[in-house]
Amino acid sequence: MRKQIAAANWKMNLTLQQGEQLLDDIISQPHSLKENQQVVFAIPAPYLAMAQQKLRNKEQVFVAAQNCHSKKSGAYTGEISVDMLSSLGVHYVVLGHSERREYFNESNAFLAEKVNICLENNITPIFCCGEPLAVREAGTQNEYVALQLKESLYHLTADQLRKVVIAYEPIWAIGTGKTASSAQAQEMHAFIRGNIAAAYNAETANAISILYGGSVKAANAVELFSQPDVDGGLVGGASLVADEFVAIINALQ
């Protein structure tokens, strides 16, 4: 059975004290996770140790970094290595987020290197893919996403790929005033799973969790997560509000 995941991406928000309070507010509220369900908090790097300490006894609740470097160590001032993350007990890393691609020019090839080093160190990549508005309007979103998958993931063996979580971000539906429907989310998730099946096999495709990252909120989480190929969400703004994110957790099917 595939993992269902409610993943919070705090991005560059909150002070340490605000982050501590938010975690307290979320974990103090009732929510029951089934055996195949997880909650992941992608925390700003300065707060990773705090979050690990606070969540250490919470079953099926994990901490993620929002980024890592492709090299194991070296003269890369300001960067974060997988060894650093491993030493903190971090289980997940978000890779290839649309903001990293757009603002920091991260290429598919560079992300392939990051995927490799994470898997080599038993850290699960949450690999983000998705198309911008111009691509969606041109109707070439499938080809665009397929190339992201091919160039960043398809060098992996089937066993390695099964250790990756994929997050689909319809960039065109974030901050544009346009809305992605649950049917559009399902359509792309089904395409991604089918593309993996064609490149590998159906068993591998059906083992991989594919999260939706397009403005998930408490109001739409139940409908989104009810889609057969949507295995949870990578949540931005709504993850900064305790009641909202708890409702999203509880929307996992």
Domain of residue 229, CATH code? 3.20.20.70
35 falls within a domain: no
Q: Would the pLDDT of 113 be above 90?
A: yes
Domain assignment present for 38: no
Model pLDDT, residue 173:
80
Mean pLDDT of 76-95: 97
| pLDDT of 120 over the 70 cut | yes
pTM for the full model? Answer: 0.96
Residue 79: inside a domain: yes
Residue 32's pLDDT is 81
DSSP 137-184: HHT-HHHHHHHHHHHHHTTS-HHHHTT-EEEE--GGGSSSS----HHH
The catalytic residue among 99, 169, 189, 244 is 169
91 is catalytic: no
pLDDT digits (tens, 9 = 90+) for 168-215: 999 988 766 666 899 999 999 999 999 999 999 999 999 999 999 988
Q: What is the pLDDT of residues 124-172, one digit of tens each?
A: 999 999 999 999 999 999 999 999 999 999 999 999 999 999 999 999 8
Cβ atoms of 52 and 63 closer than 8 Å: yes
Predicted confidence band at 31 (pLDDT cuts at 50, 70, 90)? confident
Residue 121 lies inside a defined structural domain of this protein: yes
Model confidence at 86: pLDDT above 70: yes
At residue 1, the pLDDT reads 84
**Mean pLDDT across the chain, nearest whole number?**
95
At 179 the pLDDT is 66
Catalytic residue from among 97, 99, 106, 131: 97
Based on the residue annotation, tell me whether 102 is a catalytic residue of this protein: no
Domain with 142 in it = 63-235
The answer as to whether 220 is a domain residue is: yes
What average pLDDT does this structure show over 104-123?
Answer: 98
Question: How many distinct structural domains can be found in the chain?
Answer: 1
Question: Is 73 contained in some domain?
Answer: yes
